[in-house]
Amino acid sequence: MPRIAYVNGRYVVHAQASVHIEDRGYQFADGVYEVCEVARGHIVDMPRHLARLKRSLKELSIAWPVSEGVLPMLLREVVGRNGVVNGLVYVQVTRGVASREFVFPAAGTRSALVITARKADPALAAKRAETGIKVITVPENRWDRVDIKSTGLLPNVLAKQKAKEAGAQEAWFVDTDGNVKEGGSSNAWIVTRDGVLVTRPAEHGILRGITRTTLFDVAAKLGLKIEERGFSVAEAKAAREAFISSATTIAMPVVEIDGAPIANGHPGSMTLSLRQAFFDVAEKSPA
């Protein structure tokens, strides 16, 4: 079965799917996106992801490419046509195709919509969670509207490549006060020596992760305390546990920061409990 992509109203074979060379996403990264996890045949937290997409579009004055109510159906259709039971579905909206001028194109220019889906092996993620991941820290060098899930991700690309070259799997952006902001494609968390979950407030220079939001619900269910506050790299290195969260990793233990082991260098039990309980709490739309 060939992979199928949705491109501006048509379902096309993924390998042949293309957009115009003057798509503003291609030329200016003038677009936004969402990634939803697909788990056991369900799209995870789709309403929250689509609500964030709506916000991103509004913040950038990009028009809806289709009527809002149709999008869940399109996501389901792409997941179904690709036979994805476990994996992810990606949705991207750009300001559309227009002659290359910086200012917005003429009113009536249609925004462009691409939806793809791909399979992932949950056993690989589970295996990774057993050993945990390593992170490096890098100075924050992104714009200050990282609350918008924009396709302009060059600093994230460079940071994550740097992490890879250092033998790590994620890079944490650090602000000028020495506080951790978030990862290149994930939110950052620690567990203090007293067993309190700490993550940076979403109002302060990070993306309000959907997994992060759902983990607040998971923590409430497990009776865990959360403090929304900044934490420094030094505090993270001395923490009992550290982890990242995103749609593609859920809660993933961090066992090393800049080469320094966290606690005994093994995944923390609270992180693993959050990971385990996640799907009982997350909203699951049938795909």
Q: Which residues bind ligand PDD (CB under 6 A)?
A: 35, 182, 185-187, 207, 209-212, 245-248
To ligand PDD, the closest distance from the beta carbon of 105 in angstroms equals: 26
Q: Which is nearer to ligand PDD, 163 or 210 (CB)?
A: 210
Q: Which is nearer to ligand PDD, 56 or 186 (CB)?
A: 186
Give Dmax (Cα) for the chain: 58
Distance CA(23)–CA(21), nearest Å, equals 6
Please name which of 148, 83, 88, 140 lies closest in space to residue 118, comparing C-alpha atoms. 88
To ligand PDD, the closest distance from the beta carbon of 182 in angstroms equals: 5
Active site residue 149: yes
Residue type, 203: E
What's the distance, Cα to Cα, between the start and end of the chain in Å?
Answer: 18
Q: What is the DSSP letter of 161?
A: H
To ligand PDD, the closest distance from the beta carbon of 52 in angstroms equals: 7
Q: Which is nearer to ligand PDD, 97 or 142 (CB)?
A: 142
To ligand PDD, the closest distance from the beta carbon of 213 in angstroms equals: 8
Please name the residues in contact with 67: beta carbons below 8 A apart, sequence gap of 6 or more: none
Q: Which is nearer to ligand PDD, 43 or 207 (CB)?
A: 207
Catalytic residue, from 119, 127, 134, 149: name it: 149
**Contact between 255 and 265 (Cβ < 8 Å):** yes
Report the catalytic residues.
149
